Structure 1
Amino acid sequence: MSTIGLSKETSVKVADSLNELLADYHIFYMNVRGFHWNIKGHKFFVLHEKFEELYDDLFEKIDEVAERVLTLGQSPKHAYSNYLKVSKVKEATDISDAEGTVSSILDSFEVIIEKQREILDLTDELEDEGTNALMSDYISEQEKLVWMYSSFLGK
């Protein structure tokens, strides 16, 4: 047992899943940074500010996920080349219009939330309450953001 009461096997399984989530978050973060820098059109002022709020939040979550991996006694992956290999969030390039950027954000949230639900199920089964609570909080917050961004698109 580790100092937090989880077996080594459990810690490795959860950390591996969290490292995959970390890759998704990094690609998502860079996409949103690019949207913030490159947004054009009559929605510029609204979206420029919203994208900054979103990438600040994603940056915080990246740090929290990495710290959870460390808490589990494992190492967070940090090579961008690794992120590109394992991330299910795809790089978004050359998107500068409101609809394209927000649609990409919604696609990324779909991937992120699905991965977090997988981790939620895994950590429930493995009795890792710390990671489970973190994923539950993220999902609740992000479901609201999905509703808001969907509403922006009129969906």
Structure 2
Amino acid sequence: MATRKTNPTKIDIGISEKDRAKIAEGLSGFLADSYTLYLMTHNFHWNVTGPMFTSLHTMFMTQYTELWGALDEIAERIRALGYPAPGTYSQFAKLASIKEVTGVPAALDMVAHLVTAHEATARTGRNIFPLVDKANDQPTADLLTRRLEVHEKTAWMLRSLLEG
């Protein structure tokens, strides 16, 4: 019986190349938003001051640590779909929907910026779902579902600090 030769670089996972490209493009924007949010959160961790210093410093560290792990997962999904993941500041700046915060905001302004950034990242991820559903891409759907849960819960918790 003859063995069939396969091209090891050809991707045949049941998702068309066109759909994989569109999903990877969407995930690239999601990665850019996630990285921008990571950097913002880490910056705020370093620079927060005031009466809420200890609690915010610790909370921001928990959040940026969680985000750091997510970056790898998103980038690796892009790679599994057969496309290069963006990885430079200039690429992230072009792809991200979140704008850089300049200066050092007051503690509660930091919290407000993070709420806005988590919500923006959730919207970016949610916008990929129609492509993912159409392509029957369950691994990406699972990744997005898990990430949306984190962003929405974190936004809620941060938003709670701004109420009352």
- Compute the TM-score of the two structures, normalised by the length of structure 1: 0.94
Percent identical residues: 32
Indicate whether 1:18 and 2:18 are aligned. Answer: no
Larger Rg: 2
Indicate whether 1:65 and 2:74 are aligned. Answer: yes
**Where does residue 101 of structure 1 map in the other structure?**
110
- Listed one character per residue, the Cα deviations across residues 121-153 of structure 1 (whole Å, up to 9, x for unaligned) are 220122111101110111122222121111111
- Listed one character per residue, the Cα deviations across residues 99-129 of structure 1 (whole Å, up to 9, x for unaligned) are 1110000110111010111112220122111
Shift in Å, 1:52: 0.5
**Where does residue 97 of structure 2 map in the other structure?**
88
Indicate whether 1:150 and 2:162 are aligned. Answer: no
- More off after superposition, 105-114 vs 138-147: 138-147
Distance in 1 (alpha carbons) for counterparts of 2:141 and 2:11: 17
* RMSD, matched Cα: 1.4
Alignment of 1:2-13 (within 5 A): 2-13=11-22
The one of 21, 38, 49 aligned to 2:47: 38
Number of equivalences = 155
Contact kept, 8 Å, 1:40 with 1:96, in 2: the verdict is no
Indicate whether 1:74 and 2:102 are aligned. Answer: no
Q: Which runs of 4+ in 1 moved over 4 A?
A: none
Which structure carries more helix by proportion?
1
Specify every segment of 5 or more residues in structure 2 that has no aligned partner in the other structure, as ranges. Answer: 1-9
Contact kept, 8 Å, 1:120 with 1:136, in 2: the verdict is no
Indicate whether 1:111 and 2:146 are aligned. Answer: no
SS in 1 for 2:127: helix
Letter in 2 for 1:76: A
